[in-house]
Amino acid sequence: MTLYSEKVMDHFRNPRNVGVIEDADGVGEVGNAKCGDIMKMYLKIDGDIITDVKFETFGCGSAIASSSMATELIKGRPVSEALKLTNQAVVEALDGLPAYKLHCSVLAEEAIKKALQDYYEKNGIDYDRAQFPQCKSCGHCDA
């Protein structure tokens, strides 16, 4: 398979942190079934630290691998650091994605941000809304 890097295939074949956190402190879902990918992130946050993270993804190989890699990059890290996670960081950690699959990494970034936003909202924590742009991952979403 030359479409994807070995890293992508590894995270696709053996995705890390798949599943659900029933009592999650923050949940974020992005994407649209119409576009062919949906990602859902569940966060457990203790103090300022993301102590646990799980994901569910409906999507292609790179969507699953991007979700898996993104969870690895933020697990055990402070919230402030997770907020800074960019899709480029996910792509680099995966040793690259084909150009037309880059939106998968954007979805992963957005899913985490949305879960963090949910955490802030649920806990009445004041936050900078400008840090959470609207969904921009795909051109023809109407959701």
Active site residues: 35, 104
Both tokens of 54, joined, read: 């799980």
| 115 touches 43 (CB < 8 A) | yes
Per CB under 8 A, contacts with another protein among 70-99 are none
**Strand, coil or helix: what is 41?**
strand
- What does the alpha-carbon distance between residue 91 and residue 63 come to, in Å, rounded to a whole number? 11
Supply the minimum distance, in Å, between the C-beta of residue 23 and another protein: 16
- Packing angle between helix 61-74 and helix 102-122, nearest 10 degrees? 50
Segment lying near another protein (by CB under 8 A), choices 6-14, 45-53, 81-89, 114-122: 6-14
Supply the minimum distance, in Å, between the C-beta of residue 18 and another protein: 5
Q: According to CB under 8 A, which one of 36, 76, 95, 136 is a site residue for another protein? A: 36
**Phi, psi dihedrals of residue 92, rounded to the nearest 5°:** -65, -40
Q: Which residue ranges make up the site for another protein (CB under 8 A)?
A: 1, 9, 12-13, 15, 18-20, 29, 33-40, 56-64, 100-101, 138-140
